[in-house]
Amino acid sequence: MEGDLQRIVGRNLRAFREARGLSQEAFAEVLGIHRTYMGGIERGERNLTLKNVERIAERIKLAPLLLLDEDRLSGAGPKNETGGSAGNKPKRSPGPR
C-alpha cells in the first residue's frame, strides 16, 4: 500500500525513541533535525529518501533495514539485528570489508 513504508519507519523510530526514554525534541536533536519534522516522520507524513533513512540509522547506530522492517522494532520493543531484545544498545552491523 502507498505510504506503508513511511508509517513503518515512523513507528520504528518512535519505538526506538520511547524505549530509550527520549522526548521527540531530544531525539530530533540527536538526529540533527527539527522537532516538528521528527513528529511528521513518526506519524508517517514525511517521505524520507533512502539517503535520509541511512543517515538516521547511522546516527542511532542501527542497520538501515531495521527501520524498514515492520516486525522488528515496532512490536514489543526494539530488537537488535539478531532478533533479541535490545537491552542497552543495538548491535551495529559490520561495515564493508
Does residue 40 sit within a domain? yes
Q: Which domain holds residue 28?
A: 4-68
Does residue 26 sit within a domain? yes
Rounded to whole angstroms, what are the CA distances from 93 to 40, 48, 51, 52, 63?
28, 22, 17, 18, 6
Q: How many domains is the chain partitioned into structurally? A: 1
Does residue 42 sit within a domain? yes
Does residue 23 sit within a domain? yes
What is the domain-level CATH number for residue 22? 1.10.260.40
Residue 64's pLDDT is 95
Does residue 78 sit within a domain? no
Residue 74's pLDDT is 65
- Could you list the pLDDT tens digit for every one of the 97 residues in the chain? 788 999 999 999 999 999 999 999 999 999 999 999 999 999 999 999 999 999 999 999 999 999 999 887 766 444 444 344 444 444 444 445 4
pTM listed for this prediction: 0.73
Residues near 67 by beta carbon (within 8 Å), at least 6 away in sequence: 8, 9, 12, 13, 53, 56, 57, 73
Does residue 85 sit within a domain? no
